């Protein structure tokens, strides 16, 4: 996942920002770019059940926070990400 935060080759945006960008108008070029993004997501080989153990409200909260995040806030979020990952791992193991 750390590679998602690196700048794309020949670009001023990270791979993560590129993946989150809207597909745009339905032109041939934009459809091809969207297909490229989908191929990249599939290449990450994320487990299909990745979000199954996370409560729906928490996923929505994470999505809202992610939408408001800019590259300038990433260094501060590194510590939070480690903490969040630890708490999610713990919540997966502990029964609710």
CA angle 51, 57, 62 (to 5 degrees): 65
Look at the chain and count its residues: 96
**Tokens matching residue 81:** 């990400």
Q: Could you report the per-residue pLDDT of 46-67, keeping only the tens digit for each?
A: 888 877 888 888 888 888 877 7
Per-residue pLDDT tens over the stretch 12-45? 888 888 888 877 888 888 888 889 888 988 888 8
pTM: 0.52
* Cα–Cα dist 58/29, whole Å: 35
Rounded distance between C-alpha atoms, residue 73 and residue 41, angstroms: 23
Q: If you average pLDDT over residues 78-92, what whole number do you get?
A: 52
CA distance 51 to 60: 11
The residues spanned by each domain of the chain are 1-46, 53-96
């Amino acid at each position: 996942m750390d590679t998602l935060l690196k700048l794309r080759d020949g670009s001023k945006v990270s791979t993560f920002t590129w993946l989150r960008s809207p597909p745009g108008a339905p032109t041939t070029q934009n459809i091809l770019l969207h297909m490229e993004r989908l191929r990249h997501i599939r290449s990450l080989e994320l487990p299909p059940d990745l979000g199954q153990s996370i409560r729906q409200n928490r996923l929505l909260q994470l999505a809202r926070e992610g939408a408001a995040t800019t590259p300038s806030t990433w260094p501060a979020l590194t510590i939070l990400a480690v903490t969040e990952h630890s708490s999610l791992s713990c919540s997966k193991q502990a029964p609710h």
